[in-house]
Amino acid sequence: MELCLAIMPRKRHRKRNKGGDGREFTEVCLKELETWKASFSTSLQKVLQGVELVEKLVWAKTARKSVGAAATSRVRREDIAALKALKETGENFLEEKVSGSLEAVARGYLLMDLSPFFETGLEGVGEIIQSFRAVTKEEFQAELSEFLKGETKGDGVRLFLKVGADVDGLVDGQSALLKAICTDSMKAVQMLVEDGHADLEVNAGDVSDRHGVTVPTRDTAVMAACRLGRWGMIPFLVEKGADVEALDAGGRKALQIACETVERQYVRPDRVADVGVIETLRALVTQTSDETLKCIKARVRARDRPLLHVFTEWEMEQLVELLLERGVEVDAVDVKGLTCLFHAASFRNLKLMQLLINRGADVNRQTPKGDSVLIDATRVPDMGMTAAVLEILLDRGADVNVRGQGGFTALHRAVVRGCVESARLLLERGADVNAQEDTDNAPLHLAVEKGFVEMVRLLVERGADVNRRNVHGDTALTLGVFVCTCQTFVGGSPMKSIVEILLNNGAEVNVRGGGGCTALQRAVEQTARKRRDRRGKIPNMDVVKLLLQQGADVNIRTGRKEMERDLVKPWSRELIDLLDAVAAAQTTA
């Protein structure tokens, strides 16, 4: 490494020290160094003698055995571990304590004072001065590269910084600071910024890190760190004055770039355990202006989303609270017209819901399609938290009977999802059990259509009208018989249980539904279409018998010949015989 020193001449009129104290101090210092060298040499010699002694003892101990496992077994594992620990301790002490302290002393003498040359009046001073020159950007980055590769300990980099090397010059589109960021060397970044006063706003050319992530032209140091996910560097750069309001080539700021990197690096940003990420985002938010925070959007999941929504979806409560404290609108909507409260409720984050509501979030806010937060919360499959979410909303004034998309209330949604506990809570809080959506289906219609036996039982117990018709003219009984005989259910059809509940609670057995068919006619029609199961039984035959026991009239005609043709199929003979017997009995009566 070529010696490069800064020139700092003293003024010529400065008087010399007449007392000779300088020479005395120099002699004392040099004498102390000589003493230190001798002492250190003696100590080191003793250590080496100790190492040689241990080595001889080990050889002597194993000399009586042949080379192999028997000899090796005489050396204890704990001794090997102790030697490794001593070696590591010694190296660390020499490198960090001794060498580090010596470097600190030496740095004070790196700036050469050339005033003695001028005071001597000797000729040729100009030639001496001309032999010193500035360190070029190429030379400095070459030395930096060796340090970043681990080939040096950074002494050359520190010396170059001390004498005023060009740290901001671009080499192959990279400044020294950008090279340190791309290499992920926090130590190098600290040296360049603190010792070299590197310009944090120098723009770079297109470069890539070792993972292939590109840092485009016009990126500043903090932008590059955000893009590459250097979470430990970003707060440091921000603290040192990096401009977080600067725009990259695409018009995006550091905070936006950081959010996009979080999504790229972590499959589930809302589950990120790295506290460094949150602290980094906090540092960026803190230095970003209120005006920017109110309008800034980050491109997450292929959409530009308000920053408050991003942090809400990632369930970062601390950052959500920080944004609200900075004046961000709590009811700001995304492209779907959803506020943050919608997202917090769908994620079942009770703490975040309370935070947003306490900050003024509207619990009755509706989407452009009409769904309220309460309705939307029941749309998500129940994971054991839906009732708790609904309870918070209802406690804070949510309208339990508000109608949303398709005329659905929250109770309709809970029924469709099969959330019995949620439906029970809504009914306890005043939900209309007979509310009808746009096709006039009441919650009971939807429950029988889905085959939810417990839900049907709950609704009937809470006063559901079992004979209410939908737009097609079907009651719960006629609709349920048709749907349950057509569909295949895991564990068997629930139709018999549902029919029993409805009939035991006043359902009219002979009422005509859609198409003019009674429940019996629908059951017979669907049963006759099916073959016997493996046990030789006709599917849903028990439902037909149940309807007949409850007084279903077999003599009511629909005028549809399809059913009569189906009934003459050979495998339906048992069903035909049953119907004939009942018909004869009813005619006689």
353 and 309 in a common domain: no
pLDDT tens per residue across all 589 residues of the chain: 334 444 443 334 444 444 456 677 778 878 887 887 888 788 888 888 887 887 877 777 666 554 444 444 466 777 777 777 777 777 777 766 676 676 666 656 555 555 555 555 555 544 554 445 567 888 889 999 999 998 888 888 888 888 788 888 888 878 899 999 989 999 999 999 998 889 998 876 666 666 567 787 788 999 999 999 999 999 999 999 999 999 988 899 999 999 999 888 775 555 565 668 889 999 999 999 999 999 988 887 777 889 999 999 888 999 999 999 999 999 999 989 999 999 999 989 999 999 999 999 999 999 999 999 999 999 876 667 888 999 999 999 999 999 999 999 999 999 999 999 999 999 999 999 999 999 999 999 999 999 899 999 999 999 999 999 999 999 999 998 877 655 554 445 688 889 999 999 999 998 988 878 888 888 877 666 655 555 556 667 778 888 888 888 877 776 554 444 444 444 455 555 666 565 556 555 5
272 contact partners, CB below 8 Å, separation of at least 6 = 262, 266, 278, 314
CA distance 523 to 335: 47
The enclosing domain of 397 has a CATH number of 1.25.40.20
Q: Is residue 493 one of the residues assigned to a domain? A: no
Q: Count Cβ atoms within 10 A of the Cβ of residue 476 and give its class: 0-12 exposed, 13-18 middle, 19 or more buried.
A: buried
Give the residue from 284, 307, 329 where a domain finishes: 329
| Domain assignment of residue 102, yes or no | yes
Whether 289 and 207 map to the same domain: the answer is yes
336 located within any domain: yes
CB 344 within 8 A of CB 363: no
Residue 145 located in a structural domain = yes
**Domain identity same for 210 and 160:** no
Domain boundary among 426, 460, 476: 426
Are 344 and 307 members of one domain?
no
* 360 plus 389 within the same structural domain: yes
Count up the domains in the chain and report the number: 3
pLDDT of residue 11: 39
Residues 230 and 287 in one domain: yes
Q: Which pairs from 6-15 meet CB under 8 Å and 24+ separation? A: 6/111, 6/112, 6/162, 6/163, 6/164, 7/112, 7/114, 7/129, 7/132, 8/111, 8/112, 8/113, 8/114, 9/113, 9/114, 9/115, 9/118, 10/113, 10/115, 11/115, 12/115, 12/118, 12/119, 14/115
Residue recorded with tokens 């959330």: 419
Q: Give the SS3 label for residue 469.
A: coil
Are 295 and 202 part of one and the same domain?
yes
Same domain, 232 and 325: yes
Q: Is residue 288 part of a domain?
A: yes
SS3 334: coil
Q: Where are the alpha helices (DSSP H) in 314-399?
A: 317-325, 340-346, 350-358, 373-379, 386-395
∠ CA 404-407-412, rounded to 5°: 85
Alpha-carbon gap, residue 178 to 190, rounded angstroms: 12
| Residue 200 and residue 290 in one domain | yes
Q: DSSP letter string over 473-524?
A: S--HHHHHHHHHHHS--TTS--HHHHHHHHHHTT--TT---GGG--HHHHHH
For residue 196, tell me if it sits in a domain. Answer: yes
The DSSP element (H or E) to which 214 belongs, if any, is strand 214-215
**Residue 545 forms part of a structural domain:** no
Same domain, 359 and 321: no
pLDDT at 71: 44
Q: Which residue from 109, 181, 173 is spatially nearest to 144, judged by alpha carbons?
A: 181
Q: Are residues 335 and 325 in the same domain?
A: no
| Residue-range definition of the domain harbouring residue 115 | 1-9+87-166
Query: Rounded CA gap, 343 and 325, in Å?
Result: 20
Characterize the bridge pairing of strands 303-306 and 297-300: antiparallel
**Do 218 and 200 have their domain in common?**
yes
Task: Give the end of a domain, one of 306, 329, 352.
Answer: 329
Per the CB < 8 A criterion, the answer to whether 333 and 308 are in contact is no
Domain annotation covers residue 578:
no
